[in-house]
Every structure is written in structure tokens, then in C-alpha cells.
A and B are shown apart, each in its own frame.
Chain A
Amino acid sequence: MATSKAVRLGRELRRGGILWIPFVPLLIFALAFEILPMAYIFYSSVHSAKGLGLHSYVQVFHSKYYVISLRNSILVSAAVGIVGLMAGTLGALALRSLHESKREKLLTLVNMTTNFAGVPLAFAYIVLLGVNGLITVLAKEKMGLDLYGMGFNLFSWTGIVLVYIYFTVPLAFMLMYPAVYAIGQDIQEAAEILGASRSYFWRKVGIPILLPSMLGSFTLLFANALGAYATAYALTNSNNSLVSITIANLVTGDIFPDPSLASALAVIMAAILALSLLINGKLRRRGGVGQ
């Protein structure tokens, strides 16, 4: 059977003849706008004004400014990833207590809010928490709370973290829901019948089941925050040093354009992203719960 199938497929292929033609334009587009640009970044990162070599990488790691912007990005993304993951996991767990039909509806609502990011999100937060924002003014007038007087500033790191958390929570919710769903009511009931207390169940069964998915989701949330650009750009007019903004400034900035340096930073960032995706893939294959 198997051989006859293979023979038939082989004959089909030869008879297919020109069936490979639709791949040509696809390949051209993928090369022109996806694969070659990536390759070009590699090339450009080792090809600076000084000629071929690792000059740009050396420059990145010897400059306080670039190291700090890398560190800032990693710290912000990690913090945002942890907070978002906690909120999203709690939300997904809480959703288990509802009926199936209600669950689906609420999930689509959460999914919808994942689209609320970037420039519109930053502006919504400015309306709420800007210097003359609705909450800022209300708090001052009604409760005597002067937010900005107390050191809060939306157009600073506080604001960036606050807004980043907002777009991370629904994503974490969507990522954790399948894993949480895999801890069926039956497992929990079985444990309870066998005399496990609720906290004992979560300590010994629930959390261990969730842990691989939580780690995997964290890497995705981290990667998403690391690559983000529009939100921070709209909020701080590119005055803070996050690596995505630094990279963009190095290419478009009129002051010191240095494409080789920008490419080196981009390669470093892509390496971090690839690493977190790799970890996520490993965890998914090994943990495999609810994915």
C-alpha cells in the first residue's frame, strides 16, 4: 500500500510539471522582504565604516549608553512579563469557575483587548493619567491627591511599565488559558476525595502542572515587550533609552546615523528573542500540558 501510494505521488509530481510556479512569487517576496533583510542586518553589523570586523559589537559593549539601553529593555520586559503573567494566570484560573458558554464570550472580549496597544493605547493613558488627565484631575479635586506632586509621571519609566503591563495582561490571559483548562475539575475533585486540602492540591499538583506553561508564556510575553516600540515612542517621544528606540534612532536620527551599530544592536536583540522562543519551544515539547 505504502509503496503504491509513493509511486502514485511520484507520478503525480512528474505529471504536476508546472505546479511549482505559484511558489516563485512567494519565494521572491519572502527573499526580498524577510530573508534578505535579516541577512543584510548580519552583514551590516560586521561591516562598519572601519571595514569588515566586529567593531560595532565591540562599540556596543564598550558604550555605557548601549549597555544601559539593553539592560533597561531586559529589566522592563522581565518585570512586565512577570506581573502580566501573574495577572493573566489568576484571570485564567478564575475563568474556570464559569460556565462554558460564558467562558467563550469573556475570552473573545479579552482577545479583543489584545489589539489595544501601540499609539492608541498610549494616548488613552494620556487622557486618563496625563498631566491634565481625567484621573489626575479627579484625584486632585476630589481626594486631594496630587499624583504628579507625589512623583508619579506617565511620561517616564513608571508610565512605560504601567502601559506595557496593560497590553501584556490580556496576552498572558490568552496564553495561559489552555494550560489552566487542562487542570480539569476531575483532577481537583479526585485530589479532594483523596483528602488533599486546597492549598496542598495547588502546591503538589496544580502549580507543577502549570509551571512549564507559565515559563513558556513568560518567554513569549518577554519577547513581545522587548520588541515593542510604538507605545514607548508615543509616550516619551523617544527620549528614554530602550533598545528598540535606540536602534531606530541610530538609523533615522539626523544627528549620528550609524547603520552598522544599529544592525549590531538589532542582531543582539534578535538573538535574545530567538533564545526566548527556543526556550518556549523546548518547554512546550517537554511540558506539553494543554498546548
Chain B
Amino acid sequence: MAELLFWPALLLYGEAAVGYFGDARRPGAAGRAATWGVRLGWLVQTALLAVQAARDDGFPWTTWAGSLNLFVWLVVGAYLIWGCRGAYRLLGLAVMPLAAVLLVVARAGGGTGLGGRSHYSNLFLVLHVGLVLVAFAGFTLASALSALYLWQERRLKRREATIFRRPAPSLATLDRVAGRTVAVSLPALTLGIGVGIGRLVHDGNRIDALVVATLVTWIVWGGYLLARARGVTGRRAAYVALAGFVLVVLVRLALPASHFA
């Protein structure tokens, strides 16, 4: 069943990525088709996750690949909040190819199948894995918004005559939405890290590289919010967000093997 649901989800995310690419070249029908691809793909992936949860009788995303599957679902879900609006279609061009690729990686690692189990309690896993993933999904979206900000700002600086050909949200909107997304995500990460460290201390385990990198990520995104509070917005804030995203990629893709083991 999970296998049956994986392929349509991937196909729809892939269609959305291609559609957004087409929309960037010629706005119109391709963009609308892409938005439907995101909506339907997300619903199919939701069904996939529901099947995983039902069959495994617990929190089934404890493996690195499993958590990547959940992460993709959260990123696409967060994108859907704005993604249906025409002005945010360019954001889809950044998010959907990434989502499709990560879903393939999750499957390659066995994260879209059944049978994942953990000796940890469900409550701990939901609070730790769930909250950290929610935060990282938010950071990913904030980074995409920041990338869109930098792209749009560059077009304004270059005084491109074609600036109105591809609609994008205003710089002020992109900056504000990115800031708000991080403001919601950081407390989630704080809580997720807190729960994880609590368990670590309780079990007498050692801090590994992933924990250190996650703490550095927390510091960078915390610095982002602090800088914004002190008036650092716009282009400089967007650069900090991209630096934070590099750490998110590192934490999500490069380091997790030992942590999940």
C-alpha cells in the first residue's frame, strides 16, 4: 500500500516542479497545473504517512530516511499555506524540485516503507523528532523566501525591464513572511532540542556531531531573529537565512547517520 502511494506522490511533486519551471518561462496554465500537483501530491503523501502510522502502531519515522519523508511532507505543507497564490509560484520553483529529490532519497533509504520501530516512547519521538522537523521545515521555507527576496532585489537593482513579467511578492512581504516563519520555527526547535537533551542526560549518552550541529543551527537562527529585532532586515537578513539553511542541509542530510543509529 505504501509503495502504491509513494509513486503517485513522487509523480505529482515532479509534475509540480516541471510545471513551476514552465510557469517561470511562460506564466499561466503550467503554474495552475503545478499548484494542483502540489495539492494532490501532498494529499497522497499524507495518505502514505497515515498508512505508515497505522501499520507500525506508533511513531514510524525514527530512521533517518523515515524522518526525511516526514520532513518533505512538512516542507510542502508549509509551502501550501502560500503556494496557491500566483505571486508565490516562483517559490514553488525552489521548493518542489527539492521536495521531489528528497522524497526519492527518503525512499532509497527505506523511509517510505513499513516496519520502522523504535524503543523510544511515542511521546518523546513526537516531541523531539516532530518538533525538530517542524522547525527545519520552517527554516527551509524561510530560506526559500530569502532566496526569492535576493533574486527579486537583484532584479530591482539591475533595473530589469522585464521585472513585471514574472509576478513575485514585494520585498517587504518576503522579508516579513520569512521573519515570521523563523519566529514560529525557532521555539519549536528550542523545545525539540530541549526534549532531546533531556533524554540524552537521562540515558547518560554522549553528545554527537549532529547534536552539536543542531545547536549551531539554533544559534544561527536565533542570531537571525536577534538581528531582525535590532533592525537588520532585507538583504543582510536574507544572507543570514541562507547561511542557516546550509546548516539545515548539513543536519538533515550529512550528519544524521550516527544519531539515528
A and B bind: no
